Structure 1
């Protein structure tokens, strides 16, 4: 022992480093690259970094390949989450802009990082990008450490007995439940010593975007956990009975927080396991659906753009100028079907839409207007603050009948009766369709039966649902046995 004990006993200031500090030879530094894991609690990659390194640089890379298709609302929510994370880190989150395959190796060299730690990204682009980053780091002798993912069970880990992936939800859910997951990781801001980003050429986050939806949820981990605990205490027990009602606050509104990893589903599943009522079981089922769709996308990445059931490649679809006009009317919420228009206007106002209404408007697009499902999926991904590629694309394919566990082709939602069933008082429609706010009760769902003076500015229905239903069935009939 020659002086080492005395050196290591000296307290070191937390979080002020811009590179590795030696004590008796070598200490280690690492980078924690945040992506869809914008939190500090229950963060497996953070725990792994703490076990391997004495100081950690927190980094987020603004990647144009992900920002451009995200839309203003999702970008604005992301920036809010990053600001909250930076504040919790004592303003030690480094924001860089550029290609991660160039940014991360350069940073690793500057701070002497021996490894870069991440949560897995299993989306198609994320997998390709991570391959490039891993190779660029390897060329510099920097390790690539993947721990955990945005899911309780990382996509690709659950297979049937013969090793093939599941295509149907119910058996997947059983296997997922049997597989299980670890308890939440006990991590937080004090889990590691955070390096200072001073002198590392960070960039400021953009200000709020002009075109973002005006009513976004409050961002960040603190708000996510607060919202979750409030829902568990006051809304979860009745979730099974209330979740299909867009006129009442019956859902958790956790989807945006899950999308950006402000809370991990493992944390939520731990809380659900402590409860014994139907609401907890129903909510757990919805989390399983999220994991199922992520698993499908991992195993069939082309399903983000193409029909999972290739028979639907032969489905006759409307295109051309008239189809474009109808699509624009649908996007603007001017179809003349109140529940459809309310949903589309809610999307533009809040960057979110109730899940039951998502199914209704999707059915209307593909089965009443006969337009491609991917047109609607792209519009949703542009505007949804919770836009998640796996859930969005496969939810749309469910509605179109072309996906896994798809709705039977003959299931064509009647938008009028769906509105009357799930918005019985008309409150949801009146909330978003200003032209109908003076119409009382359920009459709001059939404005064509009103005196013209009661809703003079509301458009007439753009199609006859009964006729288009028969047309949809005829088109599906041409491919169902092919």
Structure 2
């Protein structure tokens, strides 16, 4: 028999239930492992996301000894076509729960069924699949803290075994797919991305586990320390499974480990929210009826370039452009500035992040933006407005992070880097003046919120 494993957000060999199911289905026959470059997703993916995906597909192909089959086109035609071409009796996938992914899979499964090819879903990209964590009434959780407690109580299985040998068969690459990957990897002005592949992901994880996890709760909010796991780009593509990480700290306790588990729980919570509320991908989960938003094009462009005149905001936006990644604390600060200081509706910023983040995950990114904007799952609604000066002074007290990313301010020592307007030589090296007055815009944001209440 021949079985096909169609990869999506599961680009790895270890802890891969769908891979094991496909191998078992193949028996003494062949296993074709394939990835489809779908123009609907690829063409709108942005150069950073596409380059990161292409790099990890190349790394996986190496791990499979050159046996990853690359296809191009609409999966509703391409996957059944592959199954027919190789004589497959079954197509195996990791279950997808995003709105677009679930609709796509239903259509592919229907097409395969017409040819009597079995569609098999095994496993999930999450420790606990979306929809499985519910309250006593069987309803989904709407707030993170009770979700996280129930998520821990629910638990998750041990990591799946790693197959030593696979009966791999290559089914010929599509020239358009290989060309798309080549173009993505050779695009100009790409940031310096992480090392791709499963082995690199595990090396990064174990370095964090051994060196930084012990002080995670105390240092994770310090962007200058670079003490976060940096696993989000790998989790985004399933290069490593969250269950693998949880298993490797299962015997540890204490505030640091629990804080790290909470960060994984946030990812699973947002996936669950999207699963339960598909329209929340690009619409307010909790709309503010009558809220007025602005469209200040010049100010938005200054925000995108990191030229707002607020040092910590600009540092975060410049890190995004340089690395294709941004520290989580800075994601909140920069998002608050766009939504509360510039009064811009959050999807504008969410799209910019997805274009430039190599870890740009629809559920986590867009619900994170709504959390900041006050239209999502946040228990503290719209009236939270981050002060970009005090946030910088609190989380970057030495000014090291700002000076790293804003060279125009490297002549200012310590906290002075957060308030160049307070120093005679603050603008000596061309740093831009503030594009808005935060105090005034905070009052305006709160006034707009009050009008929606009335």
Same fold (TM over 0.5): yes
Matched residues in 2 for 1:200 and 1:65: separation? 17
Q: Residue 455 of structure 1: CA displacement?
A: 2.9
* Aligned partner of 1:317 among 276, 285, 293: 293
Is this contact kept in 2: 1:438–1:454, CA < 8 A? no
Equivalent in the alignment of 2:37: 62
Q: Residue 212 of structure 1: CA displacement?
A: 5.2
Matched residues in 2 for 1:201 and 1:110: separation? 17
Equivalent in the alignment of 1:272: 249
Q: Secondary structure at the match of 1:193?
A: coil
Equivalent in the alignment of 1:412: 385
Matched residues in 1 for 2:115 and 2:189: separation? 40
Q: Secondary structure at the match of 2:392?
A: helix
Equivalent in the alignment of 1:149: 124
Answer yes or no: is 1:253 the counterpart of 2:244. Answer: no
Q: Residue 453 of structure 1: CA displacement?
A: 6.8
Is this contact kept in 2: 1:95–1:202, CA < 8 A? no
Answer yes or no: is 1:124 the counterpart of 2:118. Answer: no
Equivalent in the alignment of 1:437: 410
Equivalent in the alignment of 1:299: 276
Is this contact kept in 2: 1:240–1:278, CA < 8 A? yes
Matched residues in 2 for 1:40 and 1:292: separation? 26
Is this contact kept in 2: 1:399–1:407, CA < 8 A? no
Q: Secondary structure at the match of 1:253?
A: coil
Q: How many residues matched?
A: 449
Answer yes or no: is 1:44 the counterpart of 2:21. Answer: no
Is this contact kept in 2: 1:114–1:143, CA < 8 A? yes
Matched residues in 2 for 1:67 and 1:79: separation? 10
Matched residues in 2 for 1:120 and 1:401: separation? 31
Matched residues in 1 for 2:380 and 2:359: separation? 23
Which consecutive residues of structure 2, in runs of 5 or more, have no partner in the other structure? none
Answer yes or no: is 1:262 the counterpart of 2:239. Answer: yes
Over 3 Å counting, the alpha-carbon distance change for 1:199 and 1:425 in structure 2 is closer
Partner deviation per Cα, 1:319-340 (whole Å, 9 max, x = no partner): 3xxx111111111111000000
Answer yes or no: is 1:375 the counterpart of 2:348. Answer: yes
Matched residues in 1 for 2:34 and 2:429: separation? 54
Over 3 Å counting, the alpha-carbon distance change for 1:125 and 1:212 in structure 2 is farther
TM-score, length-scaled by structure 1: 0.91
Matched residues in 1 for 2:235 and 2:374: separation? 26
Over 3 Å counting, the alpha-carbon distance change for 1:476 and 1:48 in structure 2 is same
Answer yes or no: is 1:386 the counterpart of 2:354. Answer: no
Partner deviation per Cα, 1:56-105 (whole Å, 9 max, x = no partner): 10100001111122211111111111111101111000001111111111
Q: Residue 249 of structure 1: CA displacement?
A: 1.6
Equivalent in the alignment of 2:166: 192
Higher radius of gyration, 1 or 2: 1
Matched residues in 2 for 1:128 and 1:212: separation? 35
Matched residues in 2 for 1:147 and 1:425: separation? 49
Matched residues in 1 for 2:123 and 2:169: separation? 23
1:161-310 correspondence runs (5 A)? 161-188=136-163, 190-198=164-172, 203-204=177-178, 205-207=181-183, 208-211=185-188, 213-310=190-287
Over 3 Å counting, the alpha-carbon distance change for 1:383 and 1:209 in structure 2 is farther
Equivalent in the alignment of 2:58: 83
Matched residues in 1 for 2:232 and 2:49: separation? 12
1:459-474 correspondence runs (5 A)? 459-474=432-447
Matched residues in 2 for 1:424 and 1:194: separation? 54
Q: Residue 30 of structure 1: CA displacement?
A: 0.5
RMSD: 1.5
TM-score, length-scaled by structure 2: 0.96
Q: Residue 210 of structure 1: CA displacement?
A: 2.1
Q: Secondary structure at the match of 1:314?
A: coil
Is this contact kept in 2: 1:116–1:143, CA < 8 A? yes
Which consecutive residues of structure 1, in runs of 5 or more, have no partner in the other structure? 1-27
Partner deviation per Cα, 1:168-224 (whole Å, 9 max, x = no partner): 111111111111111000124x34311133488784232414245321111111110
User: Is the deviation greater in 78-87 or in 271-280?
Assistant: 271-280
Q: Residue 120 of structure 1: CA displacement?
A: 1.3
Over 3 Å counting, the alpha-carbon distance change for 1:347 and 1:406 in structure 2 is farther
Q: Secondary structure at the match of 1:70?
A: coil
* Aligned partner of 1:97 among 60, 68, 72: 72
Matched residues in 2 for 1:113 and 1:393: separation? 38
Matched residues in 2 for 1:444 and 1:82: separation? 41
Is this contact kept in 1: 2:221–2:395, CA < 8 A? yes
